[in-house]
């Protein structure tokens, strides 16, 4: 399932020189927002499979370029190491704020934070982050169904005060997340729980690595994971509009569509851009929140 006719050209655009992060445009700030979701593949542990995707500064450069060139003002980042997030915040400058939640490994219910590096390497945590050129309030991590034994992935949100919008970072469990029960699925429960939580927010953006392809893809054996009323497949269909709805563009090097930006408001544009610095592509949604 390959859908990459423009990937080479778009990827090359990410190699331009870094420009300074631009300040938010105040005239349109209250309603106009560009949100970026990206799984950065930032782990320094060999078992995470990210060694071939560049250095932390390369990944930070990708974020900076999207801020400068696409006017991105909110970031939903997965698989980012905490020290790299600190470095990114320094590069973005004043006016930007962040909230972070770590990944955890659960062994029979006993949880430990995942480290960025090997046991003799970097000890900072790896997790997901919500970042915005705005005040961030009411940051909260919400419990979702997770493997009793296996990788636990957070779901958390914060309100960007400039736009009065709830920004929520999603990273769902792929199939096989529980090594003791490799056929068990968790994403169906997680999606139902996320849908219930998001229903309480008047303005919301839900983005991240969902680890499941769209429900309308022919032959998608995991389409049943999507709860009714979550993924709006067309205007007028109940659910959240996805910025690339109906298009057939990969967001993963393996030829899969796994990364999304859902939410309220009117989508004005959507870009999906390949990069050499992760196995996931960058997704940017331009939304009118009026």
pLDDT at 5: 36
Q: Which residues have a Cβ under 8 Å from the Cβ of 226 and sit 6 or more positions away?
A: 191, 212, 215
Strands 240-242 and 282-288: unpaired
Model pTM score:
0.90
2 within a domain of the structure (yes/no)? no
CATH (domain of 38): 3.60.10.10
In terms of Cα–Cα distance, which of 289, 284, 279, 253 is closest to 3? 253
Read off the DSSP letter of residue 159: E
Joined tokens for residue 10: 């778009």
Q: Which domain holds residue 168?
A: 7-13+32-288
Joined tokens for residue 96: 């930007």
pLDDT at 1: 43
Give the separation between CA 288 and CA 290, rounded to whole angstroms.
Answer: 6
In terms of Cα–Cα distance, which of 173, 158, 160 is closest to 209? 173
Q: What is the pLDDT of residues 148-180, one digit of tens each?
A: 999 999 999 999 999 999 999 999 999 999 999
For the residues 238-251, what does the mean pLDDT come to?
90
Domain count, the chain: 1
24 within a domain of the structure (yes/no)? no
27 within a domain of the structure (yes/no)? no
């Amino acid at each position: 399932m390959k859908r990459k006719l423009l990937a080479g050209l778009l990827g090359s655009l990410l190699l331009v020189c870094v420009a300074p992060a631009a300040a938010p445009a105040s005239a349109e700030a209250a309603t106009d927002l560009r949100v970026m979701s990206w799984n950065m593949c930032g782990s320094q542990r060999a078992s995470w499979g990210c060694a071939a995707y560049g250095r932390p500064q390369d990944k930070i450069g990708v974020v900076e370029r999207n801020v400068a060139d696409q006017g991105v003002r909110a970031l939903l980042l997965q698989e980012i190491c905490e020290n790299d997030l600190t470095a990114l915040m320094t590069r973005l400058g004043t006016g930007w704020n962040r909230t972070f939640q770590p990944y955890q490994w659960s062994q029979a219910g006993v949880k430990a934070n995942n480290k960025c590096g090997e046991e003799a390497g970097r000890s900072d945590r790896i997790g997901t982050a919500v970042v915005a050129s705005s005040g961030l309030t009411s940051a909260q991590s919400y419990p979702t169904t997770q493997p009793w034994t296996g990788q636990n992935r957070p779901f958390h949100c914060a309100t960007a005060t400039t736009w009065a919008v709830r920004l929520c970072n999603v990273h769902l469990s792929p199939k096989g997340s529980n090594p003791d029960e490799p056929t068990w699925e968790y994403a169906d429960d997680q999606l139902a729980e996320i849908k219930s939580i998001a229903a309480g927010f008047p303005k919301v953006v839900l983005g991240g690595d969902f680890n499941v392809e769209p429900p309308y893809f022919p032959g998608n054996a995991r389409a049943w994971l999507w709860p009714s009323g979550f993924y709006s497949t067309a205007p007028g269909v109940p659910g959240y509009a996805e910025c690339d709805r109906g298009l057939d563009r990969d967001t993963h090097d393996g030829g899969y569509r796994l990364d999304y930006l859902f939410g309220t408001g009117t989508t004005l544009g959507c870009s999906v851009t390949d990069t050499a610095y992760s196995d996931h592509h960058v997704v940017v949604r331009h939304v009118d929140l009026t």
